[in-house]
Amino acid sequence: MSRSIEICTKPLKSKVRRTILKAGGTLLISVLAPLSARAAQIVAVRVWPAEDYTRVTLENDSELKTTHFLVQNPDRMVVDIEGIELNPTLKELVAKIQPNDPYIKQVRVGQNRPNVVRLVFDLKEEVKPQVFTLDPVGGYQHRLVFDLYPANPPDPIAAMIEKGEWPSANPGEVAPPVAQTKPPEPKPPLQAQPEPPPPQIARVDPKPDKTPTPTLTRMITIALDPGHGGEDPGATGRGGNREKDVVLSIAKRLKAKIEQQPNMRVMLTRDADYFVPLGVRVQKARKVQADLFVSIHADAFVTPTARGSSVFALSEKGASSTAARWLANKENSADLIGGINIQSHDRQLASVLLDLSTTAQINDSMKLASAVLNEIGGINKLHKGAVEQAGFAVLKAPDIPSILIETAFISNPEEEARLTDNAYQDQMADAVLKGIKKYFAHNPPLARNRLT
């Protein structure tokens, strides 16, 4: 643009100047056209603060190039973004940082030099950032993502003990020392196992008498997994309610009910509105040596009449129906929508998990799924009368019985209303807990036998 102005202001005779001005006008257009195609516009900024990590997303109409570096004393991250001009949308980022953000104190935004915008994140502690771009997907255009992970992440169990959320085997005992309740030992590296050992928890058959009274030798640990979160809203109902919100609400109710049980404790894979990659959900459950993994979702379909609750288990041989396969594909696309850094090693671990046998896990998962489906049938219409199976990525922990519950169809206006109703959420939580208890009544967990 500046070049064409130079041409126009050259001292020339009037006739010639007119010609040049015309040419300048043409030049202006021809220079601006490719420029406007290249200069990115920030169309939205989003911030997802969480204890796990804080994510900042810049959504743009084209892919952005960035460089970033960390500075200490005080800790900050400096990001230079090429090919953009500072616009009001980008300036909104400053106000979007909340005072209680675990990692970001504030952000400063400025035009560093022509065509380069600089963001300075003033940090509350040292972070390990992951900076990556995502191609357009779903309703999103290009995204530039900053995930700020703590450089020294807290041990998940120690953190729960600190919050008083991790009771020991003896209910009378108060806050036990960390070492006692920590998983006895990290699992051996998965690759080192020559043959997949029977991956399930050692159990005895139910006692032959009519009223089995299982003797629990330890706390039962339940991993609850509210689906989606953050950048990934999941399905959205006609009334505007989002799957990620209703499933978190149901999961929190269920968590509270599980905590009332003398021999159970619970871990949420997410307790706020941020995205947790599918593989990380599985990792989190394995880290606390969960006895069960229960993923909570809300179904959606193109026609508003589809309705009813469903419970799914993993399948090794293929889906039990076309609809189940379709649903698994939809749920598995969460990582694309939610956005993961494919260069990070979460993915590698996830693929290692896939290679292990899950036959025994699936057997147990089917029993758990039937017990839960049976209870849910008492509070809502069932979409199908039986447990279905498909290749859900989040159900692939080889050593934890895992189920995925579609609590109702959020795309059905009547069921959307139920999903947001406190009483229904409570009934759903009660039904799932009842199912879990019935499962354990017939499949009591014994002492851990996992250090094989």
Closer to Zn ion by CB, 227 or 445: give it: 227
Q: How far is CA 174 from CA 177, 222, 357, in A?
A: 9, 20, 39
Token pair belonging to 442: 């017939």
The least CB distance from residue 245 to Zn ion, in Å, is 12
Tell me the C-alpha distance between 432 and 253, whole Å.
Answer: 11
The least CB distance from residue 116 to Zn ion, in Å, is 39
Gap between the terminal Cα atoms of the chain: 70
**Which residue in the set 49, 233, 234, 445 belongs to the binding site for Zn ion (CB under 5 A)?**
234
Closer to Zn ion by CB, 52 or 406: give it: 406
Q: What's the full length of the chain, in residues? A: 452
Tell me the C-alpha distance between 104 and 124, whole Å.
Answer: 6
The least CB distance from residue 425 to Zn ion, in Å, is 16
Applying CB under 5 A, the span of 18-26, 176-184, 224-232, 338-346 interacting with Zn ion comes to 224-232
Q: Would you give the DSSP letter of residue 168?
A: -
Applying CB under 5 A, the span of 54-62, 199-207, 232-240, 408-416 interacting with Zn ion comes to 232-240
Closer to Zn ion by CB, 49 or 234: give it: 234
Closer to Zn ion by CB, 271 or 331: give it: 331
Closer to Zn ion by CB, 227 or 308: give it: 227
The least CB distance from residue 227 to Zn ion, in Å, is 4
Amino acid of residue 258? I
Closer to Zn ion by CB, 45 or 405: give it: 405
Task: Classify residue 399 by burial, with Cβ atoms within 10 Å: 0-12, 13-18, 19+.
Answer: buried
Applying CB under 5 A, the span of 23-31, 134-142, 281-289, 296-304 interacting with Zn ion comes to 296-304
The least CB distance from residue 301 to Zn ion, in Å, is 12
Tell me the C-alpha distance between 171 and 180, whole Å.
Answer: 14
Q: How far is CA 390 from CA 105, 284, 319, 393, 445, in A?
A: 43, 22, 4, 9, 26
Q: Would you give the DSSP letter of residue 229?
A: B
The least CB distance from residue 253 to Zn ion, in Å, is 18
Closer to Zn ion by CB, 148 or 428: give it: 428
Closer to Zn ion by CB, 167 or 237: give it: 237
Closer to Zn ion by CB, 83 or 304: give it: 304
Size of the site for Zn ion (CB under 5 A): 3
Applying CB under 5 A, the span of 31-39, 135-143, 292-300, 341-349 interacting with Zn ion comes to 292-300
Q: Which residue is nearest to Zn ion (CB)?
A: 297
Q: How far is CA 74 from CA 77, 105, 131, 152, in A?
A: 10, 11, 21, 17
Amino acid of residue 60? N
The least CB distance from residue 232 to Zn ion, in Å, is 9
| 297 is an interface residue for Zn ion by CB under 5 A | yes
**Which residue in the set 227, 229, 398, 435 belongs to the binding site for Zn ion (CB under 5 A)?**
227
Applying CB under 5 A, the span of 121-129, 162-170, 289-297, 390-398 interacting with Zn ion comes to 289-297
Count the helices and strands in the chain (H runs, E runs).
Answer: 13, 14
Q: 């040049």: which residue's tokens?
A: 20
Applying CB under 5 A, the span of 33-41, 67-75, 219-227, 302-310 interacting with Zn ion comes to 219-227
Instruction: Transcribe 390-434 into DSSP letters.
Output: E--GGG--TTS-EEEEEEEETTSHHHHHHHT-HHHHHHHHHHHHH
Phi, psi (rounded to 5 degrees) for 75: -65, 130
Per-residue binding string, Zn ion, 143-162, x by CB under 5 A, is --------------------
| 182 is an interface residue for Zn ion by CB under 5 A | no
Q: What is the dihedral angle through the alpha carbons of 68, 49, 222, 178, rounded to the nearest 10 degrees?
A: 70
Closer to Zn ion by CB, 229 or 444: give it: 229
Binding residues vs Zn ion (CB under 5 A) = 227, 234, 297
